[in-house]
Amino acid sequence: MFDIKGTLVSLELVERFFCCDLDTCLGACCIEGDAGAPISEKEYKKLKEILPEVWDELLPRAQEEIKEHGVAYLDQEGELVTQIIDGKNCVFTCYEPGGLCSCAIEKAYRAGKIDFRKPISCYLYPVRIKKFPTFTAVNYDRWKICKCAEVLGRKENIRVYQFLKQPLIDRFGQEWSDELVANCELYIKEYLSD
C-alpha cells in the first residue's frame, strides 16, 4: 500500500492491468450492480442542474423514475447514489446502436453542451474511494464484468494507475498524481521487473 498525502492506495493499482474494452462488455458497469453510482452533494446539485441538457437522451423509464424520485437516493449504507431503474440501470444510461451502453452525461459533455463530464466515481471506475476518519482509501474494485478490461490491459501493458491517469489527477490533483506515478514506477522496478 502507498501512503500519499493522507490516502492509502492499494498496490493493485500498480499490480493489476486494466483498459476498458467496450466492444466486449458494452458498458456493463452502468447497468449492473445493486445501487447507483456514488455521488457527492455537489455532484447531486450538478446533476439536477444539467438534467434539462441530457433529458432527451434518457430512457422513458428513467425519465419517469426521475420525475417520481429525483436523480439520486440514499443506498443501504446511507450513501448518496444516482437513481436506478429496474433494480440496476443508472438513470443516465442511454444506448447506442449495437447495444452499447453509454452515459447521457458524458455524451452531452463531449458534445460541448455541459461542463460536467460525469460523477467522479464513474470516471474513476474501477477504482473506488472510501473516506475514513483519519484517511482516504483508494482501492481497485474487481468485478467479473471487467475481466475483458483486465485482459486488454495486460495485452496493451496498461496498468490501472496508467489507465486512470486523468481521473486520478481530476480527483486528487497533479502533485498527488505525480507522487503516485513515482511510487508505482519504483515499485515496478523493484518488485515487478523480470
| pLDDT tens digits along 157-190 | 999 999 999 999 999 999 999 999 999 999 999 9
| pLDDT tens digits along 86-131 | 888 899 999 888 888 899 999 999 999 999 999 999 999 999 999 9
Q: Which three cell numbers stand for residue 90?
A: 443508472
Residue listed under C-alpha cell 437522451: 57
* pTM for this prediction: 0.90
Domain layout of the chain by residue ranges: 1-18+126-194, 26-125
pLDDT band, very low/low/confident/very high, at 194 (cuts 50, 70, 90): low
> What are the strands, taking DSSP E only, across the chain?
2-4, 7-9, 72-74, 80-82, 84-85, 89-90, 93-95, 101-103, 127-131, 136-140
Count Cα atoms within 13 angstroms, Cβ side, for 159.
16
138 in helix, strand or coil?
A: strand
CB atoms within 10 A of CB 12: 19
Task: Please give the Cα distance from 31 to 106 (Å, whole number).
Answer: 15
Are the CB atoms for 167 and 124 separated by under 8 Å? yes
